[in-house]
A = this chain, B = another copy of it.
Amino acid sequence: MEIAIIMFDDYETLDVFGPAEIFGRLTDIYNLKFYSLKGGVISNRHGVPIMTEKLEIINSIPEIVLIPGGWGTRKEVDNLLLIDKIKELAQSSNYVLTVCTGSALLAKSGLLNGKKATSNKRAFAWVASQNQNVDWNKKARWAIDGKYYTSSGVSAGMDMTLGFLADRHGIDFARKVAKEIEYNWIEDKDNDSFVVE
């Protein structure tokens, strides 16, 4: 299954590479591809330069679309080219996963309308303001609505990815992967200890 990771300038490092570590090690099942509108090197304020391919050259629909967050989303919510491309890919794919403020980009596409979703607890008001037709859940570590998985901030992307594996391959499989990366997986998607009251 191809996982198309949608990159843009000033993405959040761990939003991308937490899930990439988890999916990436399952080479028998998942295949990571990094895309961006312009292709080439995409970097961020952390100074992490990643090579990407141009989104327009995607020639087969990816099974999974992964959308990270980061400061760059503040600008990209107004990038209609990117939002349209996200909408096109997300509609056709089997699953869409967002991390942190990545859910703001997906919400902008309208595909989350009437659906349960969450986001970074520290940027929640801003994300929710991008589309008030989404059923925003402030308490979740990650939320699931059909094919849409949306996670809370940064590290929560790893918990969601392990939860996604549990849903596809069983809880024992996901726990084994968490153990392999010596990660204390937060298994409960509904109660995030980082909720800001």
Interface residues of A (CB under 8 A from B): 12-14, 16-18, 20-21, 23-25, 27, 31-34, 41, 44-51, 120-122, 152-156, 179-184, 186, 192-194
Contacts and interface: CB of A to CB of B under 8 A. Distances in A.
A135 B14 CA distance: 32
A50 to B, nearest CB: 6
A182 B156 CA distance: 7
Give chain A's interface secondary structure class. Answer: loop
Contacts of A12: 21
Contact of A46 (B21, B45, B120, B153): B21
Contact of A45 (B16, B18, B27, B48): B27
A24 B47 contact: yes
Copies of this chain per assembly: 2
Given A182-B192, A184-B193, A192-B182, A48 B17 contact: yes
Contact of A14 (B44, B121, B181): B181
**7 A-B pairs with the lowest CB-CB distances in the bound complex, closest first:** A24-B46, A17-B17, A14-B21, A49-B51, A155-B183, A154-B181, A153-B182
B21 A49 contact: no
A165 to B, nearest CB: 15
A159 B12 CA distance: 19
B13 A24 contact: yes
A12 B180 CA distance: 12
Contacts of A13: 17, 20-21, 24
